[in-house]
Structure 1
Amino acid sequence: MSAPPIFDAAFAAQFETLLRWRRDVRRFRRDALPAGVVEALLELAVLSPSVGHSQPARWLRVTDPAQRQAVQESFTRCNEAALAAYDGERARLYASLKLEGLKEAPEQIAVFCDHGTPRGHGLGRQTMPEMLDYSVVAAITQLWLAARLRGVGLGWVSILDPVEVAAALGVPPGWKLIAYLCLGWPEQESETPDLIRAGWEDGR
């Protein structure tokens, strides 16, 4: 058995910087990521812990234009409904926000949780079955950090109808949509979240 690594103070400082600069990217350059980058990132994501070692995450790279268009249309409908829930200045501010990078991001990944996976034999989820979903979220977080480490931006699009997206992508009925991710080179980077810079939490 090999000795465990020792992470020194310099590494700890770098890791804290990585966490602080991990942002939800909405504005992407359109140029493609180098070959093999997405595969390398996914190899790191699957190192994430999962309940009972069930590994329930299913990663689907979406490249088909018709499928991407269906996702874009779902976002448009859901975003219009979300906007209608706000009034006055809050509605104006919401309408000004860029909340997805679906038209620009060169890579798009739909992440599902396979609720029918036999792996793990139900260990750790008899009383909390939602642990399957949480395991997928943990893997996405790991992917997010791995991407930022390489300068790749990741944006999580949640303003979607999960049933519509699952149907458009033709996935098995036991798969639940957890996230729709956009990846690519960010147009710009900031330590401050976009929503804070836009004043979304200012109470206006």
Structure 2
Amino acid sequence: MPHSSAQQATPARSFSDAEKQALYDIIAARRDVRNEFLPDPIDPDALRRVLEAAHAAPSVGFMQPWNFILIRDEEKRKVICKAFSEANEEAASMFPSERQALYRSLKLEGIAKAPLNIAVTCDRARGGEVILGRTHNKDMDIYSTVCAVQNLWLAARAEGIGVGWVSIFRTGDLRRLLNMPSHVEIVAYLCLGYVSELHSQPELATKGWRSRLDLDSLIMEDAWTGQATVESTE
């Protein structure tokens, strides 16, 4: 006979002020790393802890739709980097002419420099046709996978491992290079490696691409009540 939830429940753990502050410090210290990677290989035990943190992420219907493709091979990463460069040049041309020089000056990936790349995928067939909690929003599996990415990122930061999310790819290129089956989506392509220093603020803010929005302008009560403030990009 199945156990009741009451039989399985344990007292909710309370965390000390120091433990809570450590979590907030890790969140505040997280950065999207591009150029600060060290060549040192990632300790296997640390990598395992980071992947276990990702696997502990919440998922709708407990479907756990993620997989993690570890990419270390230098030749494979060179080909992926070339695919990025081609897409990145296309992306540059999409911005107004007065922004293109700044765009091209930004370092937007660390594919070759980071000792490890990870493609985080979402298996959209996992769990069958009907998934608890996904019956009316088919994208909940994608959202669940993004939660795994966030867990991975924060755990990596706690381990002294930097992470950079590379999103500028033509989807077909990356799918072909990673031999992806049709029912699996690539949600995130991540670069990982130890870092000795990080920007004190998000790099795109320090280089004048965007500034952080004011939190109070983004909070609403009970329903949509107004448009979020868009800051100047000058």
What TM-score comes out, normalization by structure 2 length?
A: 0.82
Output aligned runs, 1:99-138, within 5 Å. Answer: 99-118=108-127, 121-138=130-147
- Give 1:153 shift: 0.3
Contact 1:52 1:120 in 2 (8 A): no
Q: CA RMSD in A?
A: 1.7
SS in 1 for 2:19: helix
Output aligned runs, 1:49-60, within 5 Å. Answer: 49-60=58-69
- Give 1:12 shift: 1.9
Mapped to 1, the partners of 2:68 and 2:125 lie a distance apart of: 15
Is 1:203 the equivalent of 2:203?
Answer: no
Q: Aligned residue for 1:190? A: 199
Mapped to 1, the partners of 2:22 and 2:49 lie a distance apart of: 21
* Larger RCO: 1 or 2 (CA < 8 Å, sep 6+): 1
Output aligned runs, 1:73-84, within 5 Å. Answer: 73-84=82-93
- Give 1:23 shift: 0.8
What TM-score comes out, normalization by structure 1 length?
A: 0.93
Is 1:23 the equivalent of 2:31?
Answer: yes
Contact 2:46 2:159 in 1 (8 A): no
Query: Which one of the candidate residues 88, 97, 102 is aligned to 1:93?
Result: 102
- Stretch deviating more after TM superposition (126-135 or 55-64): 55-64
- Stretch deviating more after TM superposition (13-22 or 94-103): 13-22
Is 1:178 the equivalent of 2:208?
Answer: no
Give the unaligned 5+ runs of structure 1: none
Is 1:70 the equivalent of 2:79?
Answer: yes
Contact 2:67 2:123 in 1 (8 A): yes
- In structure 2, do the counterparts of structure 1 residues 57 and 120 end up closer, same or farther at CA, with 3 Å as the change threshold? farther
Mapped to 1, the partners of 2:178 and 2:196 lie a distance apart of: 28
Query: Which one of the candidate residues 26, 44, 53 is aligned to 1:44?
Result: 53
Contact 1:60 1:109 in 2 (8 A): yes
When the two structures are aligned, how many residues end up with a matched partner? 204
- In structure 2, do the counterparts of structure 1 residues 44 and 119 end up closer, same or farther at CA, with 3 Å as the change threshold? farther
Q: Which runs of 4+ in 1 moved over 6 A?
A: none
Give the unaligned 5+ runs of structure 2: 1-8, 211-231
- In structure 2, do the counterparts of structure 1 residues 83 and 8 end up closer, same or farther at CA, with 3 Å as the change threshold? same
Q: Aligned residue for 1:7? A: 15
- Give 1:119 shift: 6.1
- Give 1:91 shift: 0.8
- Give 1:24 shift: 0.7
- Give 1:115 shift: 0.6
Contact 2:65 2:122 in 1 (8 A): yes
Post-superposition CA distance 1:41-87 (Å, at most 9, x none): 10111111101000000111012334322311210111000111124
- In structure 2, do the counterparts of structure 1 residues 97 and 13 end up closer, same or farther at CA, with 3 Å as the change threshold? same
- Identity across aligned pairs (percent)? 36
- In structure 2, do the counterparts of structure 1 residues 119 and 37 end up closer, same or farther at CA, with 3 Å as the change threshold? farther
Mapped to 2, the partners of 1:64 and 1:26 lie a distance apart of: 19
